[in-house]
Amino acid sequence: MKQHQQEEEETQNIVIFLNCFIPLDGKLQLCHLTVKDGIFENINVLFNNNKTNDDLEAGYDGNRDESRIDPPSFGTLSKTTQQQNDDSNTYHVTTFECAGNILCPGFIDIQINGAFGVDFSNPHLTPQQVLSVATQLPQYGVTHFCPTLVSSFADTYKILIHDILTPLCQLDQSQPPTNRSTVLGVHAEGPFFAPSKRGAHRMDCIKDQIQQHSIVTTYGLEDIKDVDYFYEECGIKIVTLAPELPGVEQYETIQTLKKHGIVVSMGHTNATLQEGIQAVQNGACLITHLFNAMRPFHHREPGLLGLLSMYPPSSQEQDKVNKRDRPPHELFYSIIADGLHSHPTTIQMAYNLSQNVILVTDGIAAMGLHDGEHSLGEEDVIVLNGKATIRGTDTLAGSVASMDSCIRSFQKFTNCSVYEAIKAATENPANVLGLGKELGMIKVGRRADFVILDQELKVRRTIIAGNVVYENN
Distance of CA 428 to CAs 101, 104, 357, 360, 399, Å?
22, 14, 7, 11, 21
Confidence of residue 318 (pLDDT cuts 50, 70, 90): very low
Residue 90, pLDDT score: 79
Residues with Cβ within 8 Å of 187's Cβ and at least 6 positions away in sequence, in order, are 110, 111, 146, 147, 148, 149, 236, 237, 238, 239, 240
Contact (CB, 8 A) for 114 and 367: yes
Residue 63, pLDDT score: 44
Least confident of 104-118, 372-386, 418-432: 372-386
Q: What is the pLDDT of residues 87-118, one digit of tens each?
A: 667 788 889 999 999 999 999 999 999 999 99
Residue 48 reports pLDDT greater than 70: no
Active site residue 394: no
Q: Active site residue: 109, 338, 362, 404, which one?
A: 362
Three-state secondary-structure class, residue 416: coil
Which pTM value belongs to this model?
0.90
Residues in the chain: 473
Contact (CB, 8 A) for 199 and 396: yes
Least confident of 38-52, 193-207, 241-255, 300-314: 38-52
Residue 3 reports pLDDT greater than 60: no
Distance of CA 58 to CAs 26, 65, 66, 179, 318, Å?
10, 12, 15, 36, 26
Residue 321 reports pLDDT greater than 80: no
d(CA 103, CA 454): 9
For residue 28, which of 417, 371, 367 has the smallest C-alpha distance?
417
Residue 76 reports pLDDT greater than 70: no
> What is the percentage of the chain residues whose pLDDT exceeds 70?
83
Residue 212, pLDDT score: 64
d(CA 149, CA 152): 8
Contact (CB, 8 A) for 185 and 169: yes
Average pLDDT over residues 317-338: 70
Using the Cα atoms of residue 253, residue 259, residue 265 and residue 271 in order, give the sign of their dihedral.
Answer: positive
Strands, E assignment, 26-156: 27-36, 39-45, 75-83, 90-97, 102-105, 107-112, 114-115, 118-119, 142-149
Residue 219 identity (one-letter amino acid):
Y
Residue 6 reports pLDDT greater than 60: no
Task: Show contacts of 273-276: CB within 8 Å, 24+ apart.
Answer: 273/301, 273/302, 273/303, 273/304, 273/306, 273/307, 275/243, 275/244, 276/243, 276/303, 276/304, 276/306, 276/307
Q: What is the pLDDT of residues 182-212, one digit of tens each?
A: 999 999 999 999 999 998 999 999 998 887 6
Average pLDDT over residues 257-270: 94
DSSP, res 295? P
Residue 228, pLDDT score: 73
Residue 353 reports pLDDT greater than 60: yes
Q: What is the pLDDT of residues 113-167, one digit of tens each?
A: 999 999 999 999 999 999 999 999 999 999 999 999 999 999 999 999 999 999 9
Within 10 angstroms of residue 397's Cβ, the number of other Cβ atoms is 27
Q: What is the pLDDT of residues 429-449, one digit of tens each?
A: 999 999 999 999 999 999 999
Least confident of 92-101, 212-221, 277-286, 346-355: 212-221
Contact (CB, 8 A) for 408 and 393: no
d(CA 428, CA 60): 20
**What does the radius of gyration of the chain's CA atoms come to, in whole angstroms?**
23
Confidence of residue 64 (pLDDT cuts 50, 70, 90): very low
Confidence of residue 61 (pLDDT cuts 50, 70, 90): very low
Bin 392: left if φ > 0, else alpha if -120 < ψ < 50, else beta: left
| Mean pLDDT over each residue of the chain, to the nearest integer | 86
Contact (CB, 8 A) for 22 and 426: no
Residue 312 reports pLDDT greater than 80: no
Q: What is the pLDDT of residues 390-407, one digit of tens each?
A: 999 988 888 999 999 999
Contact (CB, 8 A) for 198 and 293: yes
Confidence of residue 253 (pLDDT cuts 50, 70, 90): confident
Contact (CB, 8 A) for 371 and 421: no
Residue 356 reports pLDDT greater than 90: yes
* Residue 240, strand partner residues: 189, 265
Per DSSP, the residues of 346-407 read: HHHHHHHH-S-EEE---B-TTTTS-SEEEEETTEEEEEETTEEEETTS--B--B---HHHHH
Confidence of residue 330 (pLDDT cuts 50, 70, 90): confident
Residue 317 reports pLDDT greater than 50: no
